[in-house]
Amino acid sequence: MSTVNHTQEPLLRIAKRDGISRPKAYVIRIVAVVLSLVVSGIFIFAVTKLNPVEVYKAIFDGAFGTSRRSWVTIRDTMMLLCIGVGLAPAFKMKFWNIGAEGQVLIGGVVTAGFMRAFGGSISTPVLLVIMAVVSLLAGCVWGVIPAAFKAKWGTNETLFTLMMNYVAIQITSYCVALWENPIGSNTVGVINQQTKAGWFPAVFGQTYGLNVILVLALTVGMFIYLKYSKQGYEISVVGDSQNTARYAGISVKKVTVRTMAISGAICGLAGFIAVAGASHTISTSTAGGRGFTAIIVAWLAQFNTFVMILISLLLVFLQKGAIQIASQFNLNDYASNIITGIILFFILGSEFFINYRVILRGKKEVEAK
Amino acid sequence: METVAAVQLRNITKRFGKVVANNSVSLDINRGEILSLLGENGSGKTTLMNMLAGIYFPDEGEILVNGQPVIIASPKDAFDYGIGMIHQHFKLVDVFTAAENIVLGLEEEGKLDLKATAAKINGICEKYGFQIDPNKKIYDMSVSEKQTVEIVKVLYRGADILILDEPTAVLTPQETDRLFDVMRNMKADGKAMIIITHKLHEVMDVSDRVAVLRKGKYIGDVATKDTSPQALTDMMVGHAVTLNINRPDPKDPTPRLEVSGLTVYDAMGVKRLDNVTFTAMGGEILGIAGIAGSGQKELLESIAGLQPISPGASIRYRPIGHPEDKDGTELVGKTPLQIKQAGVSLAFVPEDRLGMGLVGTMGMTGNMLLRSYRKGHGIFTDRKAPKKLAEEVLTELDVVTPSVNFPVRRLSGGNVQKVLVGREIAQEPSVLMTAYAVRGLDINTSYTIYNLLTEQKLKGVAVVYVGEDLDVLLELCDRILVLCGGQVSGIVDARTTTKEEVGLLMTRFKKEGEPA
């Protein structure tokens, strides 16, 4: 016979909060950032015997130490933000688009192709418009294929978009081999290095001015689209409950395909910006994992594209800082990655305490004020 | 010889919040006997059995097995005492074979020997007359085969007290007969069996004794041979309670929805509606009564354009104030959007309020928008009108919410329903369909809903009210359509009928001419 004791309350219980006031949520977040700095400070001192303040200074230096570094940080932030903005509608619809990597790459490949082929024959402004359009289309196709399969046959979009990444990577490898320059280097090299044909022109004297303008325009546009447009409303309804959507006469299939067309297209455009506006070359690492990092950006911001600006900046800032401390203090890459890891862990973990509260045994359940 | 009851329940009480699901229930279950547990929806049958099976733990009272008081705190405890429950919803792993499912979770000594398992399974099957292939995968099985696996699983673990929760709901008549044969074999073997069912003819057919629950209370038990379906219905529904719902006479009723030959199969290929024909009149409330799962959901959803309908059906809609429009509008084959575009103003309060009628993460304003967001030509939504509507609903129906932008899923059940009903009525519908509109609501909110429906009726709207409380159906509605197993078993005048008559129709299955 089994003896059962079921009266004992567990030591810790977790209860979902009914809601939390905005200031309180921000207090939790700020406490998380402070705690993360303290904990990584302890880590830094324990492992490297370095002064944590110096290390934090170096992180800041790495991201904003010089004007050039600042612009690189801004450029990379815009890149990440652009992909995040592209992912926002898909994830808001609860469509797990983890194929941004491929959508960016395929947009980049067609951009590079057009840049090589028509760099000498078409004037740069016209060529830029053409490249923007074809990269939009390429990304759109990459997004629509998994969406259409899901709408028609109910395939799993997570696996499908992931596989589309590999297809894009293989196509890119093939093109890199095809366009190799110089022969034997196994890279495409900088395209149109002499003529700069098809490159983003400097705006207000800034090399990356156009990147900023394009991406911020998309950010504002996507914010308005999601919040105020009829299609944005449909995306919210489908993301919340497909049954409710059907009940309201919304075609879930149509919305799925349409939203992924938009999502893929913006990611494709991110590929265009990466090639024509930043690297001026193409390789399989053009997307560089940003397609996945951008998922964190989109979710953390709860699909609010303005909040995404801050989060993208934070992630890029930490990344640049990590590179800086690695070289400045002769740490290996892993040490600096651990520090960024600790900081991210605390920031992500704070969301748990915003949504849930922990009740100790014996304590009366007190409603959070 | 003196026999001790296999299981004795003594003064079992179980509460869920304020709701008392079982109120001091005492019940004996004997070996070599099939006991039917009978009761309306929500009378606490499944809750009571779940306490035997270790899924719930009683708040008060005690359970005795073979005369010994026991504590059953988990399904494993239940198995240790030889109690096995076959749930309404199967709990099987689709990609495993029958044998793998049967041994799943068993902590046996030594290596897993599927051959020995299969032999043991075949032994059990031969003994009681089951037919099952131990090596067949679950996903290749019919519903009836899956049920067999569930039963064998319980027997394999040595259960001699079996609880079957509505086992026949998913079976064809032939499969039901086969199941009953097996049950009789098990009875002969000295096992104690409890079958939960709504179908009176099955009760009469298979059981030795019937115990009746009503609203959580134990009403009594009778030997099957000493009772009749009529007497059981009386025990089940009790005497009519007066609710004093205001019911004005219908105002010149005119046909609004003419449904004919409506047959619906669900995704599993099970027939849910069978040749349903009726007319819903403008200016009256048509009640739909029936045991849960008799096709109510499918009926409303097929009218709303949300169910695939088998060929040969027709749903004709005639708008208010256009008696000259003889043909009306055909709704079959139209999507919800097409129905709306055809000018049909159909309001629908579905059973699953947050999962189908509302968007939980949005506030009242966002939910008002659900019906109107297409208005206007631009690409942007107009939020002013829905906000105004949300504020109107909030004041008129007394919705308790911090603001019109507060997510509705965080509101209480009653307030959620007010938001939903308020929005649907604001469409100025000509047909208003509601499914379990007052389920889970307190008395006051329920009366608010009844009054709203009656107001709509007086406006000439055809109101369709799917309900579960017979007292309410009898006092609120003008006519009551009774569904039984997807068929219309009768349409009665609510003013003259009795609870017993409706109760009998709810459980009367047409035996003759029933398609296999």
3-state secondary structure of B396: helix
Looking at the partner chain, which of B366, B371, B379 has a beta carbon nearest the beta carbon of A230?
Answer: B379
Upper half-sphere CA count for residue A354 (Cβ side, 13 Å): 19
Residue in chain B nearest A226 by alpha carbon: B380
Q: A131 pLDDT exceeds 50? A: yes
- Average pLDDT score over residue span A152-180: 93
- Average pLDDT score over residue span B94-111: 83
- Average pLDDT score over residue span A217-241: 95
Least Cα separation, residue B130 to chain A (angstroms): 31
The predicted pLDDT at position A5 comes to: 43
- Average pLDDT score over residue span A7-23: 65
Least Cα separation, residue A134 to chain B (angstroms): 25
Residue in chain A nearest B300 by alpha carbon: A247
Q: B511 pLDDT exceeds 70? A: no
- Average pLDDT score over residue span B496-508: 84
The predicted pLDDT at position A219 comes to: 96
- Average pLDDT score over residue span A129-134: 96
- pLDDT above 90 coverage of chain A, percent: 51
Q: A6 pLDDT exceeds 70? A: no
Residue in chain A nearest B334 by alpha carbon: A249
The predicted pLDDT at position A361 comes to: 62
Buried residues in A87-97 as b, exposed as e (16+ CB within 10 A): bbbbbbbebbb
Q: B280 pLDDT exceeds 60? A: yes
Contact criterion met (CB < 8 Å) for A233 and B357: no
The predicted pLDDT at position B444 comes to: 77
The predicted pLDDT at position A366 comes to: 43
Residues 6+ away with beta carbon under 8 Å from A245: A234, A237, A238, A252, A255
Q: Which tops the pLDDT comparison, B507 or A310? A: A310
The predicted pLDDT at position B516 comes to: 33
Question: Where do runs of H (alpha helix) occur along B141-191?
Answer: 143-156, 173-188
Contact criterion met (CB < 8 Å) for B304 and A240: no
Q: Rounded to the nearest 5°, which phi and psi values hold at A185?
A: -80, -20
- Average pLDDT score over residue span B210-227: 88
- Two structure tokens written together for B131: 């037919």
Is-contact B430 B458, C-beta < 8 A? no
- Average pLDDT score over residue span A76-85: 95
Chain B contact set for A243 (CB, 8 A): 352, 355-356
Residues 6+ away with beta carbon under 8 Å from B275: B261, B262, B263, B487
Report the DSSP beta bridge partners of residue B432.
B347, B463
Contact criterion met (CB < 8 Å) for A240 and B340: no
Q: A162 pLDDT exceeds 90? A: yes
* A358 exposure class (CB count in 10 Å sphere: 0-12, 13-18, 19+): exposed
Question: Where do runs of H (alpha helix) occur along B13-58?
Answer: 45-52
Q: A13 pLDDT exceeds 70? A: no
Q: Is residue A67 part of a domain?
A: no
**Residue found by looking up tokens 């009928």 in the block:** B497
Residue A247 sits at the chain B interface (C-beta within 8 Å): yes
Q: What is the 3-state secondary structure (H, E, C) of B420-435?
A: HHHHHHHCCCCEEEEE
Mean pLDDT score of chain B = 86
Q: Which tops the pLDDT comparison, A260 or B468? A: A260
ipTM of the complex: 0.78
* Dihedral of the alpha carbons of B295, B296, B301, B302, in degrees to the nearest 10: 50
Lowest model confidence (mean pLDDT) among A354-363, B88-97, B382-391:
A354-363
A182-215 pLDDT, tens digit each = 888 888 888 888 888 888 888 887 888 899 999 9
The predicted pLDDT at position B364 comes to: 93
What does the radius of gyration of chain B's CA atoms come to, in whole angstroms?
Answer: 25
Q: Is residue A330 part of a domain?
A: no
Q: Confidence band (pLDDT; 50, 70, 90) for B201?
A: confident
- Average pLDDT score over residue span B283-288: 94
Q: Confidence band (pLDDT; 50, 70, 90) for A121?
A: confident
Contact criterion met (CB < 8 Å) for A230 and B362: no
Q: What is the distance between the alpha carbons of residues B193 and B179, in angstroms, rounded to a whole number? A: 13
Residue A19 sits at the chain B interface (C-beta within 8 Å): yes
Q: Is residue A124 part of a domain?
A: yes
B108-155 pLDDT, tens digit each = 777 778 888 888 899 988 888 888 888 889 888 888 888 889 999 999
Q: Which tops the pLDDT comparison, B425 or B378? A: B425
Contact criterion met (CB < 8 Å) for B379 and A247: no
The predicted pLDDT at position B515 comes to: 40
Least Cα separation, residue B186 to chain A (angstroms): 26
Q: B291 pLDDT exceeds 70? A: yes
Q: How many domains is chain A partitioned into structurally?
A: 1
Q: A363 pLDDT exceeds 60? A: no
The predicted pLDDT at position A7 comes to: 44
Q: Which tops the pLDDT comparison, B247 or A356? A: B247
Q: What is the 3-state secondary structure (H, E, C) of B201-223?
A: HHHHHHCCEEEEEECCEEEEEEE
Looking at the partner chain, which of A4, A228, A246 has a beta carbon nearest the beta carbon of B381?
Answer: A228
Distances (CA, A) of A263 to A76, A86, A140, B240: 20, 5, 7, 60
* Helix, strand and coil in chain A, % to nearest 5: 70, 5, 25
- pLDDT above 70 coverage of chain B, percent: 95
The predicted pLDDT at position A1 comes to: 39
Q: What is the distance between the alpha carbons of residues B357 and A225, in angstroms, rounded to a whole number? A: 24
How many Å is the maximal CA-CA distance in chain B? 85
The predicted pLDDT at position A226 comes to: 94
How many Å is the maximal CA-CA distance in chain A? 88
Is-contact B297 B477, C-beta < 8 A? no
Residue in chain B nearest A229 by alpha carbon: B380
The predicted model scores a pTM of: 0.76
Q: Is residue A208 part of a domain?
A: yes
Is-contact B454 B370, C-beta < 8 A? no
The predicted pLDDT at position B1 comes to: 40
Q: What is the distance between the alpha carbons of residues A268 and A134, in angstroms, rounded to a whole number? A: 9
Q: Confidence band (pLDDT; 50, 70, 90) for B3?
A: low
Chain A contact set for B383 (CB, 8 A): 228
Q: Is residue A237 part of a domain?
A: yes
Kindly tell me the sign of the dihedral angle through the C-alpha atoms of B128, B129, B135, B140.
Answer: negative
Q: Break chain B into its structural domains and give their ranges.
A: 7-237, 254-345+428-507, 364-426
Q: Confidence band (pLDDT; 50, 70, 90) for A85?
A: very high
Q: What is the distance between the alpha carbons of residues A26 and B307, in angstroms, rounded to a whole number? A: 46
3-state secondary structure of B444: helix
Architecture of domain B7-237: 3-Layer(aba) Sandwich (3.40)
Which of these, B204, B206, B166, lies nearest to B293 by C-alpha position?
A: B166
The predicted pLDDT at position A338 comes to: 84
* B382 exposure class (CB count in 10 Å sphere: 0-12, 13-18, 19+): middle
Chain B contact set for A2 (CB, 8 A): 76-77, 80
Mean pLDDT score of chain A = 87
Q: A3 pLDDT exceeds 50? A: no
Q: What is the distance between the alpha carbons of residues A268 and A110, in angstroms, rounded to a whole number? A: 9
- pLDDT above 70 coverage of chain A, percent: 92
Q: What is the distance between the alpha carbons of residues B116 and B120, in angstroms, rounded to a whole number? A: 6
Q: What is the 3-state secondary structure (H, E, C) of A139-188?
A: HHHHHHHHHHHHHHHCCCHHHHHHHHHHHHHHHHHHHHHHCCCCCCCCCC
Fold (topology level) of B254-345+428-507: Rossmann fold (3.40.50)
DSSP assignment of B74-132 equals: SHHHHHHTTEEEE-SS----TTSBHHHHHHTT---SSS--HHHHHHHHHHHHHHHT---
Q: What is the distance between the alpha carbons of residues A137 and B171, in angstroms, rounded to a whole number? A: 52
The predicted pLDDT at position A16 comes to: 67
**Residue found by looking up tokens 């739909």 in the block:** B288
Q: Is residue A365 part of a domain?
A: no
Q: B344 pLDDT exceeds 90? A: no
Distances (CA, A) of A117 to A128, A137, A174, B262: 13, 18, 16, 63
Is-contact B425 B432, C-beta < 8 A? yes
Q: A43 pLDDT exceeds 60? A: yes
Question: How many other C-beta atoms lie within 10 A of the C-beta of residue A275?
Answer: 31
Domain around A181: 82-305
Q: What is the distance between the alpha carbons of residues A252 and A238, in angstroms, rounded to a whole number? A: 7
Contact criterion met (CB < 8 Å) for A4 and B74: yes
Residue in chain A nearest B301 by alpha carbon: A247
Q: A91 pLDDT exceeds 80? A: yes
Chain A contact set for B369 (CB, 8 A): 233
- Two structure tokens written together for A77: 């932030």
Residue A154 sits at the chain B interface (C-beta within 8 Å): no
Q: B342 pLDDT exceeds 60? A: yes
